[in-house]
Amino acid sequence: MGEKFFKYSVIFLLFMGSILSFSIPVEASASEFVTKGNTSGKRVALTFDDGSDGTNIAKILQTLSKENIHSTFFLTGSGTKAHPNSIKDIKAAGHELANHSYSHADFTELSSAEIKNELDRTEAAVKSTTGVSTKPLFRAPFGSVNSTVLKAVGNAGYTHTIHWNIDTLDWKGLSETEVYNRVVNNIVPGSIVLMHTGAGASGTPGALPDIIRSLKAKGYQFVTVSEILNMPSASGTIHTVKAGDTLYSLAGKYEVTVNQIVKANNLVNANVIQIGQRLSIPGDTPNPPPVQGESYTVKAGDTLYSIAKRYNVSLNDLIEANQISNPTYIRIGQNLVIPQDMKNYTVKAGDTLYSIARRNGTTVHRLAEVNNISNTSLIYPGRTLVLP
């Protein structure tokens, strides 16, 4: 009897082991649907959807370059295949690239597998043309989404589905004046503006310079979608040069080399940069700490406790500021408002973490923890530290 029981036990364990050996597929969070930036500051993101012809790309790029503005271009795979040199020009000018499907199909009429195929084909086309990924930003053709679409898009690696709060309707052939009025008369802090690059949007190239000049006069700063959402860009970080900045200090701050910054921005003279100039910082760079009214994008492994600890705020304040009903549940890609001002310190020549900690009533350990510093003996002049 004992032998038979042992035999059946072994068979049962082997059977259960074979079942448990199969991995259970893990699905990502649904893509977050975004219509505007969560900011009270005068910031606006001009965005351009590129279809099959891309007729006005050169004119748009010329204006953006003249005005020293970087924007986000939502690319189709078919358009990338049709005019690859124009797509390369968009990347070379330092603009942000995002996914707008391959064939501009209505995603609400596609299966999850078909949605993934559309996104993957576009990603492959753009990456082979520019070397840059379109993740994590997606814009749905026709702005057509539902919960099924957002789930499939999230599973494909696109954490944010970007809509808009200002639609120029330029694709209808509106005049320059009509396109201008639709933007300037409806602008609010955090606006995401929808425009197009194709021949059908004939009023956009002429309206764009006046739109930019009028919004600048109103005090608006032009940013990419990633910047207005306070999230890292696949193509790197954009830094606006401030008084006292040098390429050396910026290289230290973002932990890249001076030569990498020079190459990424096609700079002729590494000793000359201008206040207000926007520099593309190559590679994966540290996120600047969020400030009051700005948002933090939740990443894998984050908890409310770890975020509160990192930014030296109380857990209760973080919960209250974001009206969170369940503090044990936050989503990857979710934007959280940081409820209090951050105190920042810019490292100067001769500084050490010890001297900074002592002057500001904290410890080296706490300073390193808040700023994610792995080597406490190595800090660079020009780097901005959060003071806990």
**Backbone phi, psi, residue 166, to 5°:** -130, 115
Question: Could you write out the DSSP letters of every residue in 190-212?
Answer: TEEEEEE-STT-TTHHHHHHHHH
Q: How far apart (Å, rounded) are the C-alpha atoms in residues 265 and 157?
A: 28
Torsion of CA 307, 312, 313, 318, to 10 degrees: -10
Orientation angle between helical segments 112-130 and 147-155, nearest 10 degrees: 50
**Do β-strands 32-34 and 72-75 pair in parallel, antiparallel, or remain unpaired?**
unpaired
Q: Which residues in the chain belong to E strands, given as ranges?
A: 32-34, 43-50, 72-75, 96-99, 137-138, 160-162, 166-167, 191-196, 221-222, 237-240, 278-281, 295-297, 335-337, 344-346, 384-386
Evaluate whether 86 touches 76 at the Cβ level (below 8 Å). Answer: no
Closest by Cα among 318, 288, 317, 291 to 302: 318
Closest by Cα among 149, 70, 136, 61 to 99: 136
Strand partners, 221: 43
Q: Catalytic pick from 83, 100, 196, 239?
A: 196
Closest by Cα among 49, 39, 51, 52 to 72: 49
Closest by Cα among 105, 14, 376 to 6: 14
Which run of H or of E encompasses 366?
Answer: helix 364-370
Tokens of 150: 């957002």
Q: How far apart (Å, rounded) are the C-alpha atoms in residues 358 and 160?
A: 41
Q: How far apart (Å, rounded) are the C-alpha atoms in residues 185 and 232?
A: 30
Q: Is 104 a catalytic residue?
A: no
Question: Could you write out the DSSP letters of every residue in 58-86?
Answer: HHHHHHHHHTT---EEEE-HHHHHH-HHH
Q: Catalytic pick from 49, 50, 170, 245?
A: 49
Q: Is 49 a catalytic residue?
A: yes
Strand partners, 45: 192
User: Residues with catalytic annotation?
Assistant: 49, 196
